[in-house]
Amino acid sequence: MAGNSQAMTGLGIIIAMKATAAAATYTDIGEPFEIEPPEQMDDEIEVSNFASPDGFKEYIGGMTDPGECTFGINYIPGGATEDLIFGAKATKRSVPFKFTWPNGAVWSFNLLIRGFKPTAPLNDRLTAQITGRVSGSIVRAAPSAG
């Protein structure tokens, strides 16, 4: 008897970015192995007043902070991904990014790359963690039919 779960692993996720905001094409990030997608959080605005029910505070939603995004890569010093990341970081401007999930769904957003942290353990692979702040909204596209 087969189960009915639609759960999936992250195997096959593609992270891609444009070198600049004006670039025509996306370039895949080389050898990513973990992603912490952005967590969107709404500001809360207190609207309590003298008539608030039972003396409890009341809130409404404010602006949405699109959040930070981090991802880890197998680090190749002087490699194409390092050049791409450092080039975008040097501009101090956000660049287009997209995540293509294993089922084909896509998240597109602009990311201001703020951090690049390489790690060099004695008896393990070189890795790097890239950290960025999403600027603006995240556009989600459903998997294409087919």
| 39-93 pLDDT tens trace | 999 999 999 999 999 999 999 999 999 999 999 999 999 999 999 999 999 999 9
CA nearest to 34, candidates 108, 109, 129, 138:
129
| Sign of the torsion formed by the C-alpha atoms of 31, 36, 42 and 46 | negative
SS3 annotation, the chain = CCCCCCCCCCCCCEEEECCCCCCCCCEECCCEEEEECCCCEEEEEECCCCCCHHHCCCEEEEEEECCEEEEEEECCCCCHHHHHHHHHHHHCCCEEEEEECCCCCEEEEEEEEEEEEEECCCCCCCEEEEEEEEEEEEEEECCCCC
CA nearest to 107, candidates 77, 69, 79:
69
CA 95 to CA 31: how far, in whole Å? 20
Do 82 and 76 form a contact (C-beta atoms < 8 A)? yes
Residues 8-23 have pLDDT tens digits of 999 999 999 999 999 9
CA triple 73-75-79, angle to 5 deg: 115
Residues 101-142 have pLDDT tens digits of 999 999 999 999 999 999 999 999 999 999 999 999 999 999
Q: What pTM was computed for the model?
A: 0.87
